[in-house]
Amino acid sequence: MLAERYDALLFDLDGVVYTGPDPVPGAVKSITALRELRPVRYVTNNASRTPEQVSDQISALGVPCTSAEVTSSAHAVAELLRTRYPAGTPVLTVGGKGLLTALRERELEPVGTLDEGPAAAVQGFDPEVSWRRLAELAAAVHSGIPWYASNLDLTIPTDRGIMPGNGSLAAAVTNATGRQPESAGKPEPAIFRTALQDTGGSTALVIGDRLDTDILGGNRAGMDTALVLTGVHGLADALYAPEAQRPRYILRSLRDLQEDLDQRIDQAYAGMTVADGALRMQDAASGAGAGADAAPAPGGTPGAVVPGHAREVTAAVGNSAGTTGRAAVAGSSSGTLAGNVTPESATGAPALADSPGLADRPDAAVLTAALRRCWEALDAGVAIDESPLPGSWPR
């Protein structure tokens, strides 16, 4: 299975393990099984809470978790400081209990004023932070000592809506000093490397729902990444993501980590071709092609069946001359495209019907292969019309 290819599994939390107060469907069962196979770490940018507080929340959902399995941005920035400063070094600290605890565990000494001679300053989110604390931090930054941040998330979700995050608080100090802090949290690689180091492994798969934090950070850390479609970003977002934010895998849910995906991805990818502006793969269940004139898989013949797939994928794209096209991933239980593609519109782009919901999506191997082919088209300068994507690419 996919999970067994790696020494460790690094999970984001919100949108992957839970959404608000509730577990993501299937997450409890999947993680419980995966935890028996490989070390698991939960990677979070929340620096205000201790690992014990985070693990208690995860455990309350029914997901087995210990504090040792939680890697926060406080943990990451404290580890970064440990590698640069000797034990006992005073560090001016503006942050919550999670950051204070992480620094002390690494034998660094949090202090509250510039008069105490700090060698560095570090800032983490603290809902109780005051102007005086930010002013003291600004004075320290003005003095020229290095300035670190646990993370630079501009906002955080709360039960009262979106509120300022640590990045917004750090921006206030930047506005006063003209300096920027060095961050250890997502999307920087330090937090992922710290999490992997804690497992004792050498390879990890990063699983997250955000392209700009989880996937970008995992990629920067040199790790494989998987976008799970249970949170913030969906297929349309992944299609148009910059290269640095493209995941290696697309997962419908965490259940897909227990599947053997790589060989099936290769099979699906080999069976997909771009012909007449369409990316198509044949349906193994019915043996039906994407049409009588469908192009064969590379090295194959017309009508050849790609084994292991019971869904047909269609992504209409523009031609190499730059004609605008449309892209979609559509499931077809009948194995035909009759219900999914209509004749070309007046603009020359095929009109696509809405794709099915999560349960009826093509499987993870097909989705991953389809995106890889679409990325190739985009990189080659083929235009893809974004307008139909919110409806035709399930999010």
Catalytic residues, by residue number, are: 12, 14
CA-CA distance, 327 to 385, in Å (whole number)?
7
Longest CA–CA separation in the chain, Å: 79
CA-CA distance, 305 to 286, in Å (whole number)?
9
- Please state the φ and ψ torsions of residue 385, each to the nearest 5 degrees: -70, 125
Q: Give Cβ neighbours of residue 251 (< 8 Å, ≥ 6 apart).
A: 207, 226, 227, 228, 229, 257, 364
For the beta carbon of residue 92, count every other beta carbon within 10 angstroms: 26
CA-CA distance, 282 to 290, in Å (whole number)?
6
- Residue whose tokens read 């290696």: 248
CA-CA distance, 153 to 256, in Å (whole number)?
29
- State the angle between helix axes of 73-82 and 190-199 in degrees (0 to 180), rounded to the nearest 10: 90
User: For residues 121 and 151, is the Cβ–Cβ distance under 8 A?
Assistant: no
For the beta carbon of residue 159, count every other beta carbon within 10 angstroms: 7
Could you write out the DSSP letters of every residue in 14-54? BTTTEETTEEPTTHHHHHHHHHTTS-EEEEE---SS-HHHH
CA-CA distance, 313 to 362, in Å (whole number)?
8
Three-point CA angle 103, 109, 114, nearest 5°: 115
- Indicate if the alpha-carbon torsion angle 44, 49, 55, 60 is positive or negative: negative
Token readout for 195 is 């999490």
Nearest by Cα to 17 from 48, 47, 58: 58
CA-CA distance, 159 to 161, in Å (whole number)?
6
- Please state the φ and ψ torsions of residue 70, each to the nearest 5 degrees: -110, 125
